[in-house]
Amino acid sequence: MTDIRVAVIGVGVMGADHVERLQRRTKGTTVSVVYDFDRGRAEAVAAGVNGCRVSDDPYEAIAADDVDAVVIVSPGAFHADQAIACFAAGKPVLCEKPLAVTADDAYRVVEAEAELPKPLLTLGFMRRYDPEYAALAADLRSGVLGETILVNCKHRNATSGLNGNDRAVVFDSAVHEVDVARFLLREEIAGVRVILPRPGPNAASDLHDPMLILFGMESRRLVTDELYVNTNAGYEVRTEVLASRGIATIGLGVSRQVAHTPELTWGFAHDVNWVPRFAAAYDLEVQAWADAVRGGSNVDSHAATSWDGYAAAAVCEAAVRALGTDGAEVRVDLRPRPVSR
Ligand code: ISE
């Protein structure tokens, strides 16, 4: 079987990492086109890939004859239109999270995909493929932990970089815990509360950092998310499940113990950001996507869908509104799921 030729739209940190992955570590894919709003960056990435060309227009790349499938890694505000262009071209697409940065835009994607003969979109909520999250989900499904009562998440970045304001951090970072809550507990989030403690000194003035976000599930179970994205320390993503027969915690990094020299410390390596922390998850996710595309199903059954992306965006909208309610709950307004053709 010949390799699928992939266009990668956006080759910043994550996009360049996906190019490397698709070209060198994924079986059955080759990167034929790259686009970036910074042409120099696209040229530098293309230079490392035999036969890869640079496009000046993401929509040209999506529709091009030398492209069989698309990976969207552009800023979130462009995802919806670019995903819909992939549908118009009839091409399978792996779209990085978030699906969109408004619930309306995310719903447009859901509606457009429902018009297709079969789904084309895979949403890059990579934590679903992370071995630790997958094992935790398997434990919850098997019932070995008994009844799940409470889920506590911690999401810490060294710096939020350019994503400096509250809305951006909710849609870009907290969106992962929204998906984790839905993925682990297999129910929708009904309401959101946000507690804003005194901000730390590292964040920009328009960012409340840390934030404590509380997701109330339909069954009234609670998921907490302590989101602190300017720690000035390393990357940490932890999830703890309290259940009736035990407590399970992931994300402690205990699989890697590192003796550091010359600092003469001994302990666990601190990841610098999500790229090394979730490298295995991204590899598994992209390989599963490539296999699905080559096999003709276009989407892997373990992956998040456009509906998951819309549901997450609707929760993020509620969280943004809850920033201004002094801890009062904001209900999530979920529109009906369109019936596919
Ligand atoms: C980033 O875009 C990611 O997706 C990371 O997983 C997340 O931890 C980070 O906060 C986001 O900015």
Residue 253 confidence (pLDDT): 80
Residue 112 confidence (pLDDT): 98
DSSP 129: G
Q: Evaluate: CB of 32 within 6 angstroms of ligand 1.
A: no
pTM of the model: 0.96
The atom of ligand 1 lying closest to the CA of 96 is 4
Residue 206 confidence (pLDDT): 82
Mutational test site, ligand 1, from 73, 163, 172, 282, max ligand atoms within 8 Å of CB: 172
Residue 203 confidence (pLDDT): 84
Residue 51 confidence (pLDDT): 96
Residue 341 confidence (pLDDT): 67
State the Cα–Cα distance between residues 231 and 57, nearest whole angstrom. 37
Please state the φ and ψ torsions of residue 152, each to the nearest 5 degrees: -115, 125
Q: Evaluate: CB of 163 within 6 angstroms of ligand 1.
A: yes
Does an H or E element contain 67, and which?
none
Mutational test site, ligand 1, from 176, 225, 226, 316, max ligand atoms within 8 Å of CB: 176
Largest Cα–Cα separation, the chain: 62
Residue 234 confidence (pLDDT): 87
Residue 1 confidence (pLDDT): 78
DSSP 260-291: ETTTTEEEEPPBSSHHHHTHHHHHHHHHHHHH
Residue 265 confidence (pLDDT): 75
Residue 162 confidence (pLDDT): 62
Which residue's alpha carbon is nearest to atom 5 within ligand 1?
274
Q: Evaluate: CB of 79 within 6 angstroms of ligand 1.
A: no
**CB of 38 within 8 A of CB of 87?**
no
For residue range 67-84, list pLDDT tens digits in order: 999 999 999 999 999 999
Residue 257 confidence (pLDDT): 73
Q: Evaluate: CB of 171 within 6 angstroms of ligand 1.
A: no
State the Cα–Cα distance between residues 198 and 225, nearest whole angstrom. 16
State the Cα–Cα distance between residues 97 and 71, nearest whole angstrom. 11
**Residues recorded for the chain:** 341
Q: Evaluate: CB of 306 within 6 angstroms of ligand 1.
A: no
Q: Which residues of the chain have pLDDT under 70?
A: 162-163, 255, 341
